[in-house]
Copies of this chain bind each other. A is one copy, B any other.
Amino acid sequence: MEPKPCIICVAITGSLPRKSDNPAVPISVSEQVESTHEAFEAGASIVHAHVRNDDETPSSDPEKFAALKEGLERHCPGMIIQFSTGGRSGAGQTRGGMLPLAPDMASLSVGSNNFPTRVYENPPDLVDWLAAEMKTYGVRPEIEAFDLSHIHQAAKMYADGRLEKSPYVQFVMGVKNAMPVDRDVFDYYRATMARLLPDSEWCAAGIGAHQLTLNEWVVETGGHARC
């Protein structure tokens, strides 16, 4: 039997870290393209991208996303481009303003949960609008599963046609006040995927140093990794 390949997704920028946290964080579009290019040559197949304003704050500007996409297509041909529609870069429909660029994938939160100091709000009507835009532009969603019900909700949306493409699911663990890094939950998430979304692949994201733990777990169990 052939071993199953492990997809590596590189999250080059994230929504929050600044150069003062780590001078290697790529902020400008050209920095992001070159950082992704290095990861692509090292074996990454998916790039998960946020864009930033010149002052390093999170942005949802579709023009920045367009410039990034153009650079990535030139420097990393065949790489899968995934844009973030997460809530730190803006509120409401501005979060999905780049979807008409038709990236291969986009992140999608289908529920709400607590973050370290606030509520991560993904109201049902916004979730449905983002899903509809992804359908219109042929974008495959990566579901950010901050909790168990988010996997159930993704399966329901796939079953009732709100999601057209089988969703890729990311288990997010280690966010304070949301789901901790817990092997028992990780295994139950996997069993839930097999039960509710048998045609979907899944990966895992851990906050900070937890990513290494989660990468060990996904490699061991046939999931996909992030770095």
Contact = CB atoms under 8 A, between A and B. Distances in A.
A148 B185 contact: yes
A100 interface: no
Interface in A78-126: 111-125
B112 A123 contact: no
A179 B112 CA distance: 12
A212 to B, nearest CB: 21
A111 B177 contact: yes
B124 A117 contact: yes
A149 B179 CA distance: 5
Copies of this chain, complex-wide, total: 2
B195 A179 contact: no
A171 B185 CA distance: 17
B111 A116 contact: no
Given A113-B147, A116-B124, 9 more contacts: A111-B114, A111-B147, A111-B178, A112-B119, A115-B124, A117-B124, A147-B148, A152-B179, A156-B180
Interface in A133-164: 146-149, 152-153, 156
Residue among A113, A115, A117 with most chain B CB within 10 A: A113
Interface of A: 111-125, 127, 146-149, 152-153, 156, 177-180, 182, 184-185, 188, 192, 195
Nearest to A153: B177
A126 to B, nearest CB: 10
A39 B91 CA distance: 47
A148 B185 CA distance: 9
A119 B87 CA distance: 14
Given A149-B147, A152-B179, A152-B182, A117 B111 contact: no
A121 to B, nearest CB: 5
B149 A113 contact: yes
Nearest to A189: B148
B180 A152 contact: yes
Contact of A121 (B111, B119, B177, B188): B119
Contacts of A114: 111-112, 122-124, 127, 153
